[in-house]
């Protein structure tokens, strides 16, 4: 891959105004041996570039650029030539030691056998502080048997919107039902507000309790950088939760105010089984500070897809 990025956190960059630096080259998925060519070489190029960047080796990084390379940072500042790019990198590494690079390529086009253009997002994570991402466009040229970066342009990456953060829950949209003993729960989940929020309505019937209706809003909190939800039920109870995912399960940490003014907490675990099934369980439950029995795993089935 080829990428451009500012080294260091956004707050540090704005406060101390360290120079922007070209951070990484172009790459993409490895090709089978029988498809080897410039694209495979680019992938190896990227691995070596990222390794050099993560070592903070300005001289090694500069050697990935053509002698007459040009780099334009997100502020429109132009740096010409390998020697000047090396100085820029050296300064950045001195001011932001230990920064690590990651790259995601959105598009890679081989214009000719000797010219490749790549676009994507690069992210630098400093040893302390927040990671910063930028969008890049890079042009690689083949000179002899070597690929070199001839032109690199950096622009600010747009902040993630709510939908992009909630999209991982899109599979939940639809109507679901589960039954435990004499009690049934029907849940409907749908997008709302131009897909900036998910809404969940539910109805609990049967068992020893009276029928309960409820409503929940699930959204992205850009301040806390996490998914949160707010729930209300027909008895007057309400609460809020934070959502996190470990790759296999959603952990939903809930804190609720009960209709009588009491308080309860729980750690709920939602696990996707397939497109039409998920499981739900509740652990570490408390009510007014006293530990409550867990709710064992319940299997929930899809009833229908929402139109």
pLDDT in tens, 230-281: 999 999 999 999 999 887 899 999 999 999 999 999 999 999 999 999 999 9
Whole-prediction pTM value? 0.55
Could you tell me which residue, 181 or 200, shows the higher pLDDT? Answer: 200
- Token readout for 181 is 């003993």
As a whole number, the mean pLDDT across the chain is 84
Using CA atoms, how far residue 261 sits from 21, 230, 254, 287, 289, in Å, is 55, 17, 16, 11, 13
Radius of gyration of the chain (CA): 26
Chain Cα centroid distance, residue 114: 34
In the prediction, which pLDDT does 34 show? Answer: 32
In the prediction, which pLDDT does 306 show? Answer: 65
Q: To the nearest 10°, report the CA torsion of 148, 150, 155, 157.
A: -20
Euclidean distance between CA atoms 61 and 50, whole angstroms = 9
In the prediction, which pLDDT does 181 show? Answer: 82
Question: Which candidate, 245, 221, 219, 246, places its Cα nearest to that of 230?
Answer: 219
- Token readout for 116 is 């490749």
In the prediction, which pLDDT does 36 show? Answer: 37
Query: Which pLDDT band, with edges at 50, 70 and 90, does 19 fall under?
Result: very low
pLDDT exceeds 50 at position 38:
no
In the prediction, which pLDDT does 24 show? Answer: 52
Domains annotated for the chain, with CATH where assigned, are 3-156 (3.10.450.50), 162-304 (2.40.128.20)
Per-residue pLDDT reduced to its tens digit, 45-91: 778 888 999 999 999 999 999 999 999 998 899 999 999 999 999 99
Chain Cα centroid distance, residue 12: 22
Query: Which pLDDT band, with edges at 50, 70 and 90, does 21 fall under?
Result: low
Euclidean distance between CA atoms 165 and 84, whole angstroms = 39
Check: CB of residue 64 under 8 Å from CB of residue 141.
Answer: no
Per-residue pLDDT reduced to its tens digit, 287-298: 999 999 999 999
What would the DSSP string read from start to end of 76-99?
--EEESHHHHHHHHHHHHHHSTT-
Question: Which candidate, 152, 158, 127, places its Cα nearest to that of 9?
Answer: 127
């Amino acid at each position: 891959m080829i990428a451009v990025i500012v080294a260091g956190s956004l707050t540090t960059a704005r406060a101390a105004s360290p120079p922007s630096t070209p951070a990484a080259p172009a790459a993409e998925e490895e090709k089978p041996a029988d498809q080897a060519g410039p694209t495979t070489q680019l992938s190896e190029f990227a691995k070596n570039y990222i390794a050099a960047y993560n070592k903070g080796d300005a001289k090694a990084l500069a050697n990935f650029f053509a002698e007459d390379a040009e780099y334009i940072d997100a502020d429109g500042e132009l740096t010409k030539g390998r020697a000047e790019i090396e100085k820029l990198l050296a300064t950045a590494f001195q001011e932001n030691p230990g920064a690590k690079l990651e790259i995601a390529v959105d598009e890679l086009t081989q214009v000719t056998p000797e010219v490749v253009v790549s676009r994507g997002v690069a992210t630098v994570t400093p040893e302390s502080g927040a990671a910063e991402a930028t969008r890049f466009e890079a042009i690689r040229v083949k000179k002899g048997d070597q690929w070199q970066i001839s032109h690199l342009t950096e622009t600010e990456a747009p902040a993630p919107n709510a939908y992009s953060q909630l999209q991982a829950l899109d599979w939940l949209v639809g109507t679901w039902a589960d039954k435990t003993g004499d009690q049934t729960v029907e849940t409907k989940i749908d997008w709302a507000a131009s897909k900036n929020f998910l809404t969940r309505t539910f109805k609990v019937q049967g068992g020893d309790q009276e029928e309960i209706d409820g409503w929940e809003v699930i959204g992205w909190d850009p301040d806390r950088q996490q998914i949160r939800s707010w729930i209300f039920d027909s008895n007057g109870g309400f609460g809020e939760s934070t959502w996190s995912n470990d790759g296999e399960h959603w952990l939903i940490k809930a804190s609720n105010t009960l209709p009588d003014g009491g308080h309860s907490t729980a750690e709920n675990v939602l696990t996707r089984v397939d497109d039409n099934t998920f499981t739900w369980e509740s652990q570490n439950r408390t009510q007014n500070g006293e530990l409550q029995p867990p709710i064992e795993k319940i299997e929930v089935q899809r009833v229908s897809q929402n139109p």
